Amino acid sequence: MQAQQAILTFSEPERSLGDRLLKIAIEIDRVEGYSEPHAIAIARMAEKIGARMGLHGIDLTALKFAALVHDIGERAMKRNYLLRPGSLSWEETLDLWRHPILGEQAAGELKLSRLTQLLVRWHHEWWNGGGYPDGLAGEAIPVGARILRAVDSYFAFISNRPHRDRFDRAEAEQIIADLAGIEFDPQVVKLLLQVLADERASEATFAYPTTTGHEAAAPPIDDQPQPLDEIAFAPTYAEPPSEISTESLNGNQVAATEDLDRPDEAEDQAERPVDETQQAQEKVEN
């Protein structure tokens, strides 16, 4: 369906390095098996949420750059299991857990700022302390890493993966809401859902112009995914806004992330010390 182009832009000081990271982001997407731009979409959304949470200047730049290369450690690993259908073995899961640390090292080799390196390292940390590699929890996790955790998961949910089909946007938003306070920072979840609702309203206005006749003209259909060599990411929001309960945002309802995105959600195959996280893993099928 018709959608506006939401292009990731750089300021003049960001431009040279940003353009280089865009090319790397496309390579990483291919390694992970994404058929549509993933890292670019994360960077665009993370920048919006970061600004709403008061990030600016070098902090916002670090977030945007970290989003583009958050899984650069997987490119360095070059593992065939990333594209294989089916669940990972325990040995493969442990191997994959190394990728944020390798990503931190790769970000250093690219001469990215120390803050950007740490955001790459910590983008799999969970709000309840059940993430990896360092088991950080709550506000001990930098704001940028908390934003990446939620935004990365959302765009993984709505993408086709080698081991599963995409979720529709209403389902993905509900999963994110259910895991607020468990995997995701509740404030980040609130802002993410607000931005998605705003974009959905904007897309609806763009896709369904007012006509003078008795019936509105149907929008053109364009279901072809954007190729990975395109810098622009075009989100489409066709579904009506899902009703997400207050209880969900408080973490009283739990959804699963098991096998939702193998590279981004492999931690769900490990045993979690928190009961509520174990309940979350039982809800969604592979």
**Cβ neighbour number for residue 111 with a 10 Å cutoff:** 8
Is residue 95's pLDDT more than 50? yes
Please name the residue ranges forming H helices in 33-98.
Answer: 39-52, 58-68, 72-77, 90-96
Phi, psi dihedrals of residue 180, rounded to the nearest 5°: -65, 130
How far is residue 270's CA from residue 109's CA, in Å, rounded to a whole number? 30
Q: How far apart are CA 148 and CA 55, in angstroms?
A: 13
DSSP string of 265-282, one letter each residue: HGGGGS--SSHHHHHHTT
Instruction: Decide which of 39 and 202 is more confident.
Output: 39
pLDDT digits (tens, 9 = 90+) for 174-193: 999 999 999 999 999 999 99
Each domain of the chain, given as residue ranges in start order, spans 12-209+229-280
Please give the Cα distance from 14 to 18 (Å, whole number). 6
pLDDT at 125 over 90: yes
Which pLDDT value is given to residue 206? 58
Q: Which two tokens stand for residue 137?
A: 């929890």
Question: Class assignment of domain 12-209+229-280?
Answer: mainly alpha
Residue at token pair 């529709």: 168
Query: Quick one: which of 2, 46, 17, 221 has its CA closest to 107?
Result: 17
The pLDDT score that the predictor gives to residue 8 is: 83
Measured CA to CA, the distance from residue 152 to residue 38 in angstroms comes to: 8
The region, left, alpha or beta by phi > 0 then psi within -120 to 50, assigned to residue 233 is: beta
Identify the pLDDT of residue 156. Answer: 93
Please tell me whether the overall predicted TM-score, pTM, comes out greater than 0.85 for this model. no
pLDDT above 80 for 15: yes
Phi, psi of 90 (to 5 degrees): -60, -40
